[in-house]
Structures are given as C-alpha cells and as structure tokens.
C-alpha cells in the first residue's frame, strides 16, 4: 500500500526526532511492503521566519491532502521570552487544531519496567500504571471569545465556553476507549465552581445510561491532580476539558520517568496528527542527544489509528521495547552509556 504522510518537523529538536521516526517507518515499509510518501512543510517559529505565519495555508493544504500528519514540536525562546510578540509559534498549533477539526488529544500513559527507577514516585505506586488521558482540544478557555486587555492595559480577560455537542463528542470517544480497556471512565471537571464544568457534568450524566457496562466517576480537577500522584494505577480512561487536560496530561507523563517516552494522537474531523508530548527542547537542538522514542511511538499510533496497520504498529512497539531492554537509550534515561538520537533511531529501525 502507498500512504501520504505530511511531515511537520517544526522547531528545536523537532527535525532530529522526526528524522528517526521516518527511518523507523521506512523500515516498516520495507518489512511489510508499504510505501510511505513523506512531504515536509513548515510550522511554528520556523514557519514564522519563512512566511510570517505559524501555520501557513500551504502547510494546511498538505495536511488536508495527506493520510496522516507526523508532527515534531514547536516553540522558540525568542518568542517565549517576549510576552508582547504579536505572532507566536503556539498560535500555529492552535490554528492547526481548529482548521483540521482536531477535537481530541489521546495520551496513553504507560510505564516501562526498565525505567521504574527513573520515576519520581515509589516503584510500588508506578509499576503497572496504564491509563489514557483524553483531552478536548478545540473549545474552552484557549479558544473562547472575548479575550484581550483593557484599554489602560491594567486588566486582561479570557472566556471559557463549551457547548453540549462538544462535550458529547469528546465523551463519546472516552466511553469508546473505556469499552476497549478496563471499562472505567473518570470525568474531570470543576463543577463546584465553574458553569462550564456543570454543563460538562450534566451532559455526561445524560449519556451514562447509554453505556451501562462502563463504570463512571466524576472528580474535581484539583483532586484528580492529587490522585494521579497518590494512586496512578486507579485510573483507566480520563476525559476532561482543554486546559485541565493540558495540565493533567503533562503531570501524568512525568510519572513514567521521562517526557521523551510518551506519544500522543490528535484526532477529529479531518487528518489526524501524531506527535510526542514533549516540547521543542531548544537547549538540545542540533546536539543529537534528544530522545526520539516518543516520536517513534507516535509513528506507531499513526499506523494503528490512521492507517489501520495494527501489526506494523506492534512491530514498532516491540522494537522500542527491545531497545529499552538492551539499554539503547539517550542520556535523559540512563546514568550509564548513552546513545545519540540517530543511533537510537537506527537501532530500532534495524531491529525491525
């Protein structure tokens, strides 16, 4: 089979880690007789430098005409350190989510036995933790209007809005994931304070009778943040709104021992996007030291969710497990011999 993959490497370490995922995908193509046609386009700070737009129309057109998008990272210190910048790399990410209709971010949180000791939590708390955070991506305070500053610049405001249809759409996905796993769904909100959270809770409660096999519980976001640390193994599938999901999924990722290990998928109406959960890590850019495993595992999610290549996705995950067991890892997860970004990617590709 022939597949068209849009490659948005982005900023910082993005090009280095995406290059390794492409090596691995080409190894899969050779093994399973597939052809992956990769086409690159700019996004983020790189796109601003080239076009003045963090998500150019040409980049969007490529994404729309592809089977899936392999995404690296965006972000640059020159924008992070300038709060008055009119155009920012992150605006490209938000624009991409909106234009592609990417209403759900799916982040699996799993632990690797060989890295339990790297977790900031005790081994008995972390070992066996395996849950999925499903975050609503196109609503909430990140997109609500009005937003801005007062004329005297002394006050700023953002608006959080949700509709029942948006809540139903993301929660339906949560129920579907729970049905394939341990049949437990945790809905995270702040219904004791926020009107939007009360809308979320009311809407989900209306849906519960349609999913009798799923055990549903509701949890305030502050309690959820605490329990992820205290009892990470109690969760199966978690669904929540945009900002809460942004924070909780990053918190959850840390318990695995490294941000460089976890993939994610953003799915919705048009082409799906697959990316590592970490940022652009500009301090490591060009040094060949960044961990490519999260990006490689994102390629596995791409194969499974967008291309329906389940055996191929498993082959990638098996090769990653083999690399971890053999100690073929980057400096962020070992105190012993560390391998470079490209060496890890090449080893995994060769193992496939």
* Residues acting as catalytic residues: 142, 190, 222, 246, 250
Q: 234: closest CA among 208, 207, 255?
A: 255
CA distance linking residue 250 with residue 318, whole number of Å? 25
Question: Do the Cβ atoms of 16 and 292 come closer than 8 Å?
Answer: yes
Question: Rounded CA gap, 225 and 85, in Å?
Answer: 32
Helix (H) or strand (E) holding 45: helix 45-51
Residue pair 8/302 in contact (Cβ under 8 Å)? The answer is no
Q: How far is the C-alpha of 7 from the C-alpha of 4, rounded, in Å?
A: 10
**Tokens representing 90?**
């992150």
Cα–Cα distance, 275 to 278 (Å, whole number) = 9
Tell me the helices (H) and strands (E) count for the chain, helix number first.
13, 12
**How many whole angstroms separate alpha carbon 238 and alpha carbon 102?**
18
Return all residues near 148 (Cβ < 8 A) that are at least 6 apart.
156, 157
Whether residue 36 contacts residue 25, with contact meaning beta carbons closer than 8 Å, is answered with: yes
């Amino acid at each position: 089979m022939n597949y068209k993959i849009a490659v948005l490497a982005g900023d910082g370490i993005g090009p280095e880690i995406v290059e390794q995922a492409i090596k691995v995908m080409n190894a899969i193509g050779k093994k399973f007789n597939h052809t992956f046609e990769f086409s690159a386009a700019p996004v983020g700070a790189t796109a601003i430098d080239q076009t003045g737009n963090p998500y150019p129309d040409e980049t969007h057109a490529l994404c729309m005409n592809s089977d899936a998008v392999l995404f690296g990272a965006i972000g640059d210190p020159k924008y992070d350190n300038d709060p008055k910048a009119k155009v920012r790399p992150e605006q490209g990410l938000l624009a991409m989510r909106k234009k592609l209709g990417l209403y759900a971010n799916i982040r699996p949180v799993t632990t690797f036995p060989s890295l339990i000791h790297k977790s900031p939590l005790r081994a008995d708390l972390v070992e066996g933790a395996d849950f999925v955070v499903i975050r609503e991506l196109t609503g909430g305070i990140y997109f609500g209007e009005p937003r801005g500053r007062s004329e005297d610049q002394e006050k700023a405001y953002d608006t959080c809005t949700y509709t029942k249809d948006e809540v139903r759409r993301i929660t339906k996905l949560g129920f579907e994931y729970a049905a394939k796993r341990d049949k437990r769904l945790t809905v995270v909100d702040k219904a004791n304070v926020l009107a939007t959270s009360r809308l979320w809770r009311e809407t989900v409660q209306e849906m519960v009778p349609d999913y009798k096999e799923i055990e549903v519980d509701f949890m305030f976001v502050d309690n959820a943040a605490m329990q992820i640390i205290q009892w990470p193994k109690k969760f199966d599938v978690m669904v929540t709104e945009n900002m809460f999901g942004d924070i909780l999924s990053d918190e959850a990722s840390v318990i695995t021992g490294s941000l460089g290990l976890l993939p994610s998928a953003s799915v919705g109406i048009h082409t799906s996007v697959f990316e590592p959960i970490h940022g652009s890590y500009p301090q490591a850019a060009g040094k060949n030291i960044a961990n490519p495993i999260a990006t490689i595992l994102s390629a596995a999610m791409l194969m499974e969710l967008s291309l329906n290549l389940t055996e191929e996705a498993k082959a990638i995950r098996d090769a990653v497990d083999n690399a971890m067991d053999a100690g073929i890892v980057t400096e962020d997860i070992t105190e012993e011999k560390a391998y470079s970004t490209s060496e890890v990617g090449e080893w995994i590709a060769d193992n496939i």
